[in-house]
């Protein structure tokens, strides 16, 4: 029987690449996000080109009720999740603490922390009942250090780091694996979402080779396919040109 993976935020970037690579490795896939058209296209690709089953769920993970309703709309066989990839997230704005917009902070906290908790609160009890399962949270270098103008985003990713450690302890008695992947700069829609400006977005990745979404999907696949007695607690993965959150070896 195929395993079932639920990937939040699969309409672009890391989540989309992860959905593809897990499908190629024989998982049936549940993909989520707010952009229904993209979910539909990816589901068709996974079913028709890759040849496994795929169930798209369109909802805003900031909304607890929407998240619960979406999950419970799944046929019961699909609710037995083997692998939960908590990926949906974003940075909004790049501002010093005294200049940041409260609405940006709310969006980041509601998505990166509360949204991750809402879906985990639904899936973890199923894993506990099954006495098996694997949760992989997407953290960040921003969860390992703080950098100028990224305070609230860094705060949310530090929270993901703590939640990962706590979840691993709470779920230990049930044989459930919990780990995180913490990337540095990955070229996805992340900086466009954060900066809302094409030129500024281009500048972020200029002069060095950033990670690609597939590099992170690869790490997730590695974690997901270790033997039953092996749990990779954390993969901290950087572009070769990046040494710390704001230290890059850029060429002209
Ligand atoms: P993208 O912007 O490409 O993807 C973000 C995904 O999150 C989209 O599928 C988006 O779907 C989903 N999402 C955002 N808000 C919501 C919401 N309210 N409800 C449901 N889904 C939501 O960025 P990445 O792929 O780079 O980001 C994925 C994760 O990786 C994030 O947690 C990010 O913090 C983390 N990360 C990214 C790094 C990078 O440099 N790119 C580095 C380190 C960590 P939709 O808009 O359709 O709702
Ligand atoms: C995304 C990477 O350095 O922009 O989490 O915070 S960074």
How confident is the model over 11-45, as pLDDT tens digits? 999 999 999 999 999 999 999 999 999 999 999 99
Tell me how far the alpha carbon of residue 73 lies from the centroid of ligand 2, in angstroms.
34
Ligand 1: which of 109, 141, 188, 246 to mutate, judged by most atoms within 8 Å of the beta carbon?
188
Domain CATH number, residue 243: 3.40.50.720
Pocket test for ligand 1, best of 11, 13, 192 (most atoms within 8 A of CB): 13
Whether pTM exceeds 0.85: yes
**Catalytic residue status for 153:** yes
pLDDT digits 0-9 by tens, 113-134: 999 999 999 999 999 999 999 9
Total Cβ atoms within 10 A of residue 178: 25
User: Which parts of the chain have pLDDT scores under 70?
Assistant: none
Q: Residue 85 sits in which domain range? A: 3-248
The total domain count for the chain is 1
Give percent above pLDDT 90 in the chain.
99
Tell me what pLDDT residue 252 has.
Answer: 75
**What is the distance in A from the centroid of ligand 1 to the CA of 90?**
5
| Distance between Cα 100 and ligand 2 center (Å) | 17
> What is the per-residue pLDDT for 243?
98
pLDDT at 218: 98
């Amino acid at each position: 029987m195929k395993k079932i993976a639920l990937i939040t935020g699969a309409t672009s970037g890391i989540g989309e690449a992860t959905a593809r690579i897990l499908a190629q490795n024989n998982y049936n896939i549940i993909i989520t996000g707010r952009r229904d058209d993209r979910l539909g296209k990816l589901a068709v690709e996974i079913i028709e080109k890759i040849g496994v089953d795929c169930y798209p769920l369109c909802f805003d993970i900031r909304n607890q009720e929407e998240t619960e309703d979406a999950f419970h709309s799944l046929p019961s066989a699909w609710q037995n999740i083997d692998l939960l990839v908590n990926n949906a997230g974003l940075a909004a704005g790049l501002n010093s603490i005294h200049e940041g917009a409260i609405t940006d902070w709310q969006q980041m906290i509601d998505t990166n922390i509360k949204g991750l908790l809402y879906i985990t609160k639904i899936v973890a009890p199923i894993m506990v009942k099954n006495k098996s399962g694997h949760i992989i949270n997407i953290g960040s270098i921003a969860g390992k250090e703080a950098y100028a103008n990224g305070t609230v985003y860094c705060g949310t990713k530090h929270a993901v780091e703590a939640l990962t450690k706590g979840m691993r302890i709470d779920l230990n008695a049930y044989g459930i694996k919990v780990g995180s992947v913490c990337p540095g700069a990955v070229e996805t829609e992340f900086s466009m979402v954060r900066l809302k400006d094409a030129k500024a977005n281009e500048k972020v990745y200029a002069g060095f080779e950033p990670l690609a979404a597939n590099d992170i999907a690869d790490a997730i696949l590695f974690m997901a396919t270790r033997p039953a007695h092996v749990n990779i607690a954390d993969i901290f993965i950087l572009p070769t040109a990046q040494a710390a959150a704001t230290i890059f070896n850029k060429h002209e």
